[in-house]
C-alpha cells in the first residue's frame, strides 16, 4: 500500500465536503483495499462512509424495499424481505466478505462478475445518490463503469417488490464470483431477465424476456437461442459455455418461481 | 504395549494446543534486534536480457540500507543454487543443470525471477524503494509448454542447453516391451496430461538471516522441511558460511507438501545479506510471490501403451513422458520424473515388461520439483488410468481386471521390472474391503436412479502404490542422489525421568510431536506428557535429513527405535548391577526391568535417575542416559491400497458432485490412527484438487502466470469434498523395526486417478485433468 490520508465523517454533508480529486470513498473495503495493497490503486485519501448511520439499514415498504448503501451483504441476507434478494446476498463471497462488503460498494464497483447488479437490473431498482435518482437500466454502463459521476455518493438502492423472483448463480470454482448469474423477476411491467458474469457488464436478455412474457415456463426457454457473441471467454469458461449457462440457469430460476 | 498413549492409540495431538491458542511460532513471528526487511524485485517478463540496473535513486530513498544484485553475490563468491540428484541420459551423458544464480545475472527466465533485493528499515520503505530501482529489459522469445520447448526451433532458454533438453532418461527393457506390445491381444493407447500444480502451503515461505559479528555465526531462520540439508547446501555449495558457523532453524512451519524441501534463492540471499550488511534481514513471501516462485509440481505430457492378453492380463507397459522442469533444475527436480516415477510403473501388478523414457525440458516457468507424492502420483495416474481404460475397451469389469493382475500375497519379496523390490502387500484384500464398503454391487441400480433424474453417475478405482520412507542410502546413491537418506534420533532422559527426543526429521503439520512421543511412551513406559520432541534446529539436533517422501516415521521413527534399543541395553546393565543379577537375566517390557522369575524390578525412571546420580553404579557403564542413533533403511516401504470414488454429473452444467469416497490403505502398522486418517483426508483433498479444480496456467502469448491468486487458482474447499470413508489394513513392513510404511502422500497419489476414472466412467469419454465444469459439459454434450 502507498501512504494515504484517512477520514471518517459522521454525516453525508461532511463526506461530500471532504471529497476532492484523487479521493476514494471507502465502504466495506473488500474490493478497494486489496487493490490498494497490490499497489494497483493509489488514492491520496480515503473517505470512510462507515460512521454515517443514515446510509445503513433495510427499510421495507408496501410496494418497495429501500436498502442503505452501507448495508452489509450479511444484513441484506438476514433482513431483506424479498427472498430472491436475500438469497443472492447470502451467496456473495464468504462470511468475512458478507460482514464487511456493502451493497453500495458492490453496485458502485460494477464488477462484471458481481451478484448485486443482476438484482438491481432484474428488479428494476433505483439508485439514489446525493445528486439524483438513477434507474438500474441506466446505471450499469460498461465494465467497471457506472453512471456515477466523480465523487457522487450512493445513498440507497430501492427495489420495487416483484410478483415473484429468483436468482441462480453458477460459481466460479476459484473466486466464487459468478461465472454466470441469472436474475428472473415477474414484475408489474413484465418479466425481466438480468444476466451477470457472462458479459463485460450486467445485461437484460430480451430474447428470454420475450419468450417468458409469452409463456412463463421452463419449456418456453427451450426454443430461445442465446448467442455467445460478445460474452466473456477466459481460463474458467468460454463464451459458448457461458451462453449455455445463461439458458440453463434461466430455466432453473423459472422453475424455482414455479413456471 | 497397547496403553492409551502407546502404539495404536488415537492420542490427541500434543502440538495442537499451541496452534489453537495462537501460540504457534512461525517464521514471521520471529524478529531480531536491529532487523531490516527485504523486498525482492522480480522479473515482469518470461524471458529477457537485463540491459541495465540502476539503484541510485532507490539508495537515496528513506530507510534504504542496500540494493543487492546477482553480480554483488557473485563478487562475494556465493555459488549458484544446485540440483542435488544427478541423472544420466540414455547416451551416458549427465543431465544439464545450467548455473542458477540466486539473483539473476544478465538474464531473467520466468515471471517472478528474483532480480534484486532491496533492504530497508521497514518493509514499506523497501517496497517503495523497489519502485525506484530502474531496470531495463530487452525481451526475448519465451516458451511455456514442455512439448513446445523440446520441439525444433524453440526459443533457447540457456545458451549451454541445446534444444532445452536437460536429460533424456530411460528405465526398463525397451525391446522386451515392444515385443509384448507387438504380440498382444489388445493394446490401449492414451495421451495423458498431468496438470501443473502450485503447492499453496498455508504459511508462505520466509527467511530471516541473523549474523552475529561476535561469533562470526549466521543463524538462518527459514521455512524448511530439512534444516540440515539447507545448512549443508548453503555451506558446501553456496559458500554462505562454513557449516559450523551456520545454524539453520526451521521453527513451526505451516505446511510444506514438498515445496519447502528446496534451497531457494530467497533464503540463500538472506543468509548472505545479513553478514554483508551486519544486520538481520527478514523476508516473508506475499501470497502472490508464493504463486510465482514456490517450486510448482507435476506437469507431464505422457503417451502410454498398455498391452493385454485376451483375459486382460497385462503383458507390457510403455511410457513416454515429457516433463516440464521449469527454467532451472531445482534441488531435487531431476529425481522426481525419473526415479520417483518410472520405478513405480509396475503399480500393484505383475507386468512382465515395462519401458519408460522421460525427456526433461526447460521452459520459461517457475522451477518444478517435488510436490506431495512427487512422481508417484504421476506414475499411479498413468498405471491406473491405463488399466481402467483397458478394462473398458476390453469389456472387463475394472475391479476384476485389477484382481487378475495383482501381485499375489505370497509372492513377496517381489521384484518389478523397474528396479523396485516390494517387501509386502495384500492388494486383493484392500480391493475387496473397498468394494464392500462402497457397495459395488449396488452401483448399477444407483446409476439408474441418477439417470432417472437426468444425471450421469460414475464409479472409478485407483489401486495405487508408492515407494516411501526414502530411502536406503546405497540405493539412492547408485541412482544419482548427492546425499544419503538415513535419519538420526537422540533419546535423552533427564534425571527426573522425563525425556527429550531430538529428531532429524521435521514436522510441518504431520504430528511428529505426538506420534514420536507415543513410541517412547509405548516402548519405555514414560507418560506421554513427560516426552518432548525437539526438531528443526541444527544447533540442537543431530544431523538429519528432514521430512518428505512419507519418511519421518519409517526412517526417523526407526532411528528412534534404534536409540531406544541402546537405552534399553544400557538400562539392563544398570538394572543388573543394582539388582545384583546378570544382564542376561534382565527382562524388559514397557519400561520395567525385571530379574527373570523374581519380583525384583526397576523402572525406567529409577534407572535414569541412577544414571545421573551414579552412587552405586557399574564401573564399566558410562553415567548419563542419552543415546543417539542413525538409521539407514534397508529398502523403500511400499504403502498401497484401493480408493473408489463415486460421482454424479449434471450434464447441463458439467458440475461433478463427489457422492462417496472409500479408501482402504495398507500403511503397515499404525501408531496413531487419528493422525493417519487426517493425513489421508488431506492427501485425498489435494488429489481431488488436482483432478477437479487446480491448474496452473501461464499465458502462452505473454508468459504471465494467469493463475497467480486465489481468484483464479482454485484450491479445494471443504464444501468441494465428500465425507471420506477411510480404513486401513495392516500388513507390516518387513524391513523396518516398527513395521510401518508411511501415510503422508497416499491420498494425493491415489485420488486423481480414482476421480478421473469415475468421471470418465460417467461420461463414457476420456478427458484430461482438471475436470472443470466446462470440460465435463462439453464431453457430456458430445461437443
Ligand atoms: C474474497 C472475496 C469474495 C468475493 N465474492 C463476491 C461474490 O461472490 N459476489 C460479489 O458480488 N462480490 C464478491 N466480492 C466483492 C464484495 O461483494 C465487495 O464487498 C464489493 O464488491 C465491494 O463492496 P465494499 O463495500 O467492500 O466496497 P469498497 O471496496 O469499499 O469500495 C468499492 C468501490 O466502490 C466505491 N464506493 C463504495 N461505496 C460507495 C458509495 N456509497 N457511493 C459511491 N461509491 C462507493 C469505492 O470508492 C470503491 O471504488 C468478493 C470480495 C472478496 C474479497
Instruction: Inform me whether the pLDDT recorded for A259 exceeds 90.
Output: no
Residue A24 lies inside a defined structural domain of this protein: no
In the prediction, which pLDDT does B543 show?
Answer: 96
Sign of the CA dihedral with B229 first, then B230, B236, and B242 last: negative
**Would residue A221 count as lying in a domain?**
yes
Residues A158-180, mean pLDDT to the nearest whole number: 97
* CA B676 to ligand 1 center in whole angstroms: 42
| Helices A239-257 and A206-214, axial angle in degrees (round to 10) | 30
Q: Do B773 and A235 touch (CB under 8 A)?
A: no
Q: Enumerate residues 6+ apart whose C-beta is below 8 A from B310.
A: B185, B186
Q: For ligand 1, say whether the CB of A179 is within 6 Å of any of its atoms.
A: no
The confidence score (pLDDT) of residue B1 equals 45
pLDDT in tens, B657-687: 999 999 999 999 999 999 999 999 999 999 9
Dist. CA A130 → ligand 1 center (Å):
19
- Ligand 1: which residue has its CA nearest to atom 11? A114
B622: Cβ contacts below 8 Å, ≥ 6 apart: none
3-state secondary structure of B643: strand
**B288-336 tens-digit pLDDT:** 999 999 999 999 999 999 999 999 999 999 999 999 999 999 999 999 9
Per-residue model confidence (pLDDT) at position A151: 84
* Closest atom of ligand 1 relative to the A116 alpha carbon: 11
Q: What is the ipTM of this complex?
A: 0.96
DSSP-assigned letters across all residues of B258-282: TTTTS--HHHHHHHHHHHHHTS-EE
Q: What region does B591 belong to: left with phi over 0, alpha with psi -120 to 50, or beta?
A: left
Is residue B417 within 8 Å of residue B173, measured between CB atoms? yes
The reply to whether A245 falls in a domain is yes
In the block, residue with C-alpha cell 438469497: A87
CA distance B389 to B733: 31
Q: What is the pLDDT of residue B3?
A: 74
Report whether B223 contacts B274 (CB < 8 A): no
Each residue's pLDDT tens digit, B614-642: 999 999 999 999 999 999 999 999 999 99
Q: What is the mean pLDDT of residues B725-749?
A: 97
Rg (C-alpha) for chain B, rounded Å, is 27
pLDDT single digits (tens) B130-152: 999 999 999 999 999 999 999 99
Average pLDDT, whole number, for chain A? 97
Q: How far is C-alpha B527 from the geometric centre of its chain's CA atoms?
A: 32
3-state SS, residue B554: helix
CA distance B706 to chain A (A): 8
- C-alpha cell of residue B551: 519418511
Using a CB-CB cut-off of 8 Å, the residues of chain A touching B654 are: 241
* Beta carbons of A183 and A252 less than 8 angstroms apart: no
Q: Model confidence at B197, in pLDDT bands (50, 70, 90)? A: very high
* Residues β-bridged to residue B655: B650
Task: Examine the pLDDT at B565 and tell me if it is beyond 50.
Answer: yes
Contact B500, B662 (CB under 8 A): no
* Other CB atoms within 10 Å distance of the CB of residue B615: 5
Q: Is the peptide bond before B413 cis (omega within 30 degrees of 0)?
A: yes
Q: Are B226 and B289 in contact (CB under 8 A)?
A: no
Report the mean per-residue pLDDT for chain B. 97
Confidence category of residue A20, pLDDT binned at 50, 70, 90? confident
Residue A187 lies in a domain: yes
Using left for φ > 0, alpha for ψ between -120 and 50, and beta otherwise, residue B454 falls in left
Grid cell, residue A173, equals 470454482
Instruction: Give the residue numbers spanning the domain of A198.
Output: 164-257
Interval between CA A73 and ligand 1 midpoint (Å): 10
Q: Is A204 in the pocket of ligand 1 (CB under 6 A)?
A: no
Q: What is the rounded distance in angstroms from the CA atom of residue B219 to the CA atom of residue B249?
A: 7
Only one residue has cell 489453537, namely B20
pLDDT, position B88: 98
Q: Answer whether B772 sits within 8 Å of A175, measured CB to CB.
A: no
Whether residues A237 and B711 touch (CB distance < 8 A) is answered with no
CA of B393 relative to ligand 1 center, distance in Å: 52
Tell which residue, B370, B323, B377, has the closest CA to residue B347.
B377
The shortest CB-CB distance from A173 to any of B714, B777, B778 is to B714
Whether residue B375 contacts residue B689, with contact meaning beta carbons closer than 8 Å, is answered with: no
* Element housing B568 (H / E): helix B558-578
Q: What is the CATH number of the domain that holds A242?
A: 3.30.390.50
Q: Which domains does chain B have, with CATH numbers?
A: 16-22+486-631 (3.30.365.10), 31-140+206-284 (3.90.1170.50), 144-196+297-406 (3.30.365.10), 433-466+635-783 (3.30.365.10)
The Cα A70–Cα B169 span in angstroms is: 62
Yes or no, beta carbons of B712 and A245 under 8 Å apart:
no
Is A225 part of any domain?
yes
In short, whether A25's Cβ falls inside 6 Å of ligand 1 is: yes
Exposure of B483 in the CB half-sphere (CA atoms within 13 A): 24
Cα nearest neighbour of A178 on chain B: B711
Out of A174, A238, A248, closest to residue B653 by CB: A248
Q: What is the pLDDT of residue B595?
A: 98
Q: Is residue A125 part of a domain?
A: no
Alpha-carbon torsion (A42, A43, A49, A51), positive or negative: positive
What are A115's three cell numbers? 451478484
- 8 A C-beta contact, residue B157 and residue B45: no
Question: B231: closest CA among B481, B500, B516, B542?
Answer: B542
Tell me, using a 6 A CB cutoff, whether residue A155 lines ligand 1: no
Identify the closest residue of chain B to A252 by CA–CA distance.
B652
Identify the sign of the CA torsion B510, B513, B519, B522.
negative
**Banded pLDDT at B448 (limits 50, 70, 90):** very high
Taking each helix axis from N to C terminus, what angle separates B673-688 and B746-763, rounded to the nearest 10 degrees? 50
CA–CA separation, A171 vs B769, rounded Å?
A: 19
Residue A235: inside a domain: yes
Element (DSSP H or E) covering residue B378: helix B376-394
DSSP state of A50: G
Mean pLDDT of B168-183: 98
Q: Sign (positive/negative) of CA torsion A135, A136, A138, A139?
A: positive
Residue ranges with strand state E in B435-557: 456-465, 487-493, 499-503, 531-534
Q: Where are the beta strands (DSSP E) in B421-455?
A: 421-422
Distance between CA atoms of residues B485 and B609, nearest Å? 35
Q: In what order do the strands lie in the sheet with B134-139?
A: B107-108, B48-54, B134-139
Query: pLDDT tens-digit profile of B455-514?
Result: 999 999 999 999 999 989 999 999 999 999 999 999 999 999 999 999 999 999 999 999
Whose CA is closest to B137, among B160, B103, B106? B106
Hey, how many other C-beta atoms are within 10 angstroms of the C-beta on A135?
13
* Total count of domains within chain A: 1
pLDDT tens, B57-103?
999 999 999 999 999 999 999 999 999 999 999 999 999 999 999 99
- Judge whether A226 lies within some domain: yes
pLDDT at B2: 53
Q: pLDDT tens for residues B21-70? A: 999 999 999 999 999 999 999 999 999 999 999 999 999 999 999 999 99
Task: Give the residues across from B462 on adjacent strands.
Answer: B643
* ∠ Cα A55 A58 A62 (to 5°): 130
Nearest Cα residue to B636 out of B388, B424, B336: B424
Amino acid at each position: 500500500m502507498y501512504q494515504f490520508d484517512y477520514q471518517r465523517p459522521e454525516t453525508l454533508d461532511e463526506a461530500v465536503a471532504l471529497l476532492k480529486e484523487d479521493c476514494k470513498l471507502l465502504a466495506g473495503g473488500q474490493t478497494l483495499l486489496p487493490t490498494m495493497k497490490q499497489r494497483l490503486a493509489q488514492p491520496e485519501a480515503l473517505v470512510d462512509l462507515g460512521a454515517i448511520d443514515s446510509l445503513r439499514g433495510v427499510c421495507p415498504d408496501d410496494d418497495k424495499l429501500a436498502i442503505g448503501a452501507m448495508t452489509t451483504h450479511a444484513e441484506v441476507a438476514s433482513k431483506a424481505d424479498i427472498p430472491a434478494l436475500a438469497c443472492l446476498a447470502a451467496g456473495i463471497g464468504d462470511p468475512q466478505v458478507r460482514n464487511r462488503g456493502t451493497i453500495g460498494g458492490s453496485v458502485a464497483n460494477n464488477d462484471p462478475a458481481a451478484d448485486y447488479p443482476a438484482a438491481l437490473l432484474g428488479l428494476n431498482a433505483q439508485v439514489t445518490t446525493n445528486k439524483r435518482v438513477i434507474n438500474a437500466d441506466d446505471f450499469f454502463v460498461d465494465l467497471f463503469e457506472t453512471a456515477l459521476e466523480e465523487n457522487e455518493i450512493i445513498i440507497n438502492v430501492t427495489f420495487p417488490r416483484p410478483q415473484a423472483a429468483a436468482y441462480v448463480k453458477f460459481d466460479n470454482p476459484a473466486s466464487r464470483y459468478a461465472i454466470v448469474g441469472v436474475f428472473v423477476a415477474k414484475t408489474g411491467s413484465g418479466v425481466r431477465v438480468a444476466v451477470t458474469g457472462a458479459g463485460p457488464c450486467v445485461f437484460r436478455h430480451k430474447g428470454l424476456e420475450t419468450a417468458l412474457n409469452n409463456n412463463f415456463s421452463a419449456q418456453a426457454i427451450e426454443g430461445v437461442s442465446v448467442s455467445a457473441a460478445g460474452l466473456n471467454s477466459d481460463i474458467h469458461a468460454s463464451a459458448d459455455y457461458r451462453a449455455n449457462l445463461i439458458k440453463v440457469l434461466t430455466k432453473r430460476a423459472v422453475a424455482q418461481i414455479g413456471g | 504395549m497397547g496403553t492409551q498413549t502407546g502404539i495404536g492409540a488415537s492420542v490427541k495431538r500434543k502440538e495442537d494446543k499451541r496452534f489453537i491458542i495462537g501460540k504457534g511460532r512461525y517464521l514471521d513471528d520471529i524478529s531480531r534486534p536491529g532487523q531490516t526487511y527485504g523486498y525482492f524485485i522480480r522479473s515482469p517478463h518470461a524471458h529477457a536480457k537485463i540491459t541495465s540496473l540502476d539503484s541510485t535513486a532507490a539508495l537515496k530513498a528513506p530507510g534504504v540500507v542496500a540494493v543487492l544484485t546477482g553480480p554483488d553475490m557473485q563478487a562475494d563468491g556465493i555459488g549458484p543454487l544446485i540440483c542435488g540428484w544427478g541423472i544420466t541420459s540414455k547416451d551416458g551423458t549427465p543431465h544439464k543443470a545450467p548455473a542458477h544464480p540466486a539473483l539473476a545475472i544478465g538474464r531473467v527466465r520466468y515471471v517472478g525471477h528474483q532480480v534484486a533485493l532491496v533492504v530497508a528499515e521497514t518493509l514499506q520503505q523497501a517496497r517503495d524503494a523497489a519502485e525506484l530501482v530502474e531496470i531495463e529489459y530487452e525481451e526475448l522469445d519465451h516458451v511455456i509448454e514442455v512439448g513446445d520447448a523440446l520441439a525444433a526451433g524453440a526459443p533457447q532458454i540457456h545458451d549451454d542447453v541445446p534444444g532445452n533438453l536437460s536429460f533424456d532418461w530411460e528405465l526398463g527393457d525397451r525391446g522386451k516391451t515392444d515385443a509384448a506390445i507387438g504380440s498382444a491381444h489388445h493394446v490401449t493407447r492414451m495421451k495423458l496430461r498431468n496438470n501443473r500444480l502450485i503447492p499453496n502451503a498455508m504459511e508462505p515461505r520466509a527467511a530471516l538471516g541473523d549474523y552475529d559479528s561476535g561469533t562470526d555465526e549466521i543463524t538462518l531462520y527459514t521455512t524448511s522441511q530439512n534444516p540440515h540439508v539447507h545448512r549443508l547446501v548453503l555451506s558446501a555449495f553456496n559458500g554462505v558460511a562454513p557449516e559450523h558457523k551456520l545454524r539453520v532453524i526451521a521453527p513451526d512451519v505451516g505446511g510444506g507438501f514438498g515445496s519447502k524441501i528446496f534451497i531457494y534463492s530467497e533464503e540463500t540471499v538472506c543468509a548472505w545479506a545479513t553478514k554483508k550488511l551486519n544486520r538481520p534481514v527478514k523476508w516473508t513471501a506475499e501470497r502472490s510471490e508464493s504463486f510465482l516462485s514456490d517450486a510448482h509440481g507435476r506437469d507431464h505430457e505422457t503417451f502410454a501403451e498398455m498391452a493385454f492378453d485376451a483375459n486382460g492380463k497385462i503383458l507390457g507397459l510403455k511410457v513416454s513422458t515429457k516433463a516440464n522442469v521449469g527454467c532451472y533444475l531445482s534441488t531435487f527436480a531431476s529425481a522426481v520424473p525419473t526415479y520417483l516415477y518410472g520405478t513405480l510403473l509396475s503399480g500393484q501388478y505383475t507386468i512382465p515388461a515395462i519401458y519408460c523414457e522421460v525427456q526433461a525440458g526447460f521452459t520459461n516457468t517457475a522451477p518444478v520439483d517435488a510436490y506431495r507424492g512427487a512422481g508417484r502420483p504421476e506414475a499411479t495416474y498413468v498405471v491406473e488410468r491405463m488399466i481402467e481404460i483397458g478394462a473398458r475397451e476390453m469389456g472387463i469389469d475394472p475391479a476384476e481386471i485389477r484382481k487378475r493382475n495383482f501381485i499375489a500375497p505370497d509372492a513377496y519379496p517381489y521384484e518389478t521390472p523397474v528396479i523396485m523390490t516390494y517387501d509386502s502387500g495384500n492388494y486383493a484384500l484392500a480391493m475387496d474391503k473397498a468394494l464392500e464398503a462402497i457397495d459395488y454391487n449396488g452401483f448399477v441400480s444407483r446409476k439408474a436412479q441418477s439417470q432417472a433424474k437426468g444425471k450421469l453417475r460414475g464409479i472409478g478405482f485407483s489401486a495405487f502404490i508408492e515407494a516411501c520412507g526414502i530411502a536406503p542410502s546405497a540405493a539412492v546413491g547408485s541412482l544419482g542422489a548427492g546425499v544419503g537418506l538415513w535419519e538420526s534420533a537422540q533419546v535423552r532422559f533427564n534425571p527426573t525421568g522425563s525425556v527429550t527426543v531430538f529428531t532429524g526429521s521435521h514436522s510441518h503439520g504431520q504430528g511428529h510431536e505426538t506420534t514420536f512421543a507415543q513410541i517412547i511412551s509405548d516402548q519405555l513406559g514414560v507418560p506421554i506428557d513427560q516426552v518432548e520432541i525437539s526438531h528443526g534446529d541444527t544447533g540442537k539436533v543431530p544431523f538429519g535429513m528432514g521430512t518428505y517422501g512419507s519418511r519421518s516415521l519409517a526412517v526417523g521413527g526407526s532411528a528412534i527405535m534404534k536409540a531406544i534399543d541402546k537405552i534399553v541395553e544400557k538400562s539392563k546393565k544398570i538394572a543388573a548391577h543394582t539388582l545384583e543379577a546378570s544382564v542376561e537375566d534382565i527382562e524388559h517390557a514397557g519400561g520395567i526391568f525385571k530379574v527373570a522369575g523374581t519380583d525384583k524390578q526397576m523402572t525406567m525412571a529409577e534407572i535414569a535417575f541412577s544414571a545421573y546420580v551414579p552412587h552405586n553404579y557399574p564401573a564399566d557403564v558410562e553415567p548419563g542416559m542419552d543415546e543417539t542413533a542413525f538409521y539407514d533403511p534397508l529398502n523403500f516401504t511400499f504403502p498401497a491400497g484401493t480408493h473408489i470414488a463415486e460421482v454424479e454429473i449434471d450434464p447441463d452444467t458439467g458440475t461433478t458432485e463427489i457422492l462417496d469416497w472409500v479408501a482402504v490403505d495398507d500403511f503397515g502398522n499404525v501408531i496413531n490412527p487419528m493422525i493417519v486418517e487426517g493425513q489421508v483426508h488431506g492427501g485425498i483433498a489435494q488429489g481431488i484438487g488436482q483432478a477437479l479444480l487446480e491448474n496452473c496456467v501461464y499465458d502462452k502469448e505473454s508468459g504471465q502466470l494467469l493463475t497467480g491468486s486465489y481468484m483464479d487458482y482454485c484450491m479445494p474447499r471443504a464444501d468441494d469434498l465428500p465425507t471420506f470413508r477411510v480404513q486401513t489394513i495392516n500388513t507390516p513392513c518387513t524391513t523396518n523395526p516398527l513395521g510401518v510404511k508411511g501415510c503422508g502422500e497416499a491420498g494425493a497419489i491415489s485420488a486423481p486417478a480414482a476421480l478421473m476414472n469415475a468421471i470418465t466412467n460417467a461420461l463414457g469419454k476420456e478427458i484430461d485433468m482438471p475436470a472443470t465444469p466446462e470440460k465435463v459439459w462439453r464431453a457430456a454434450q458430445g461437443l
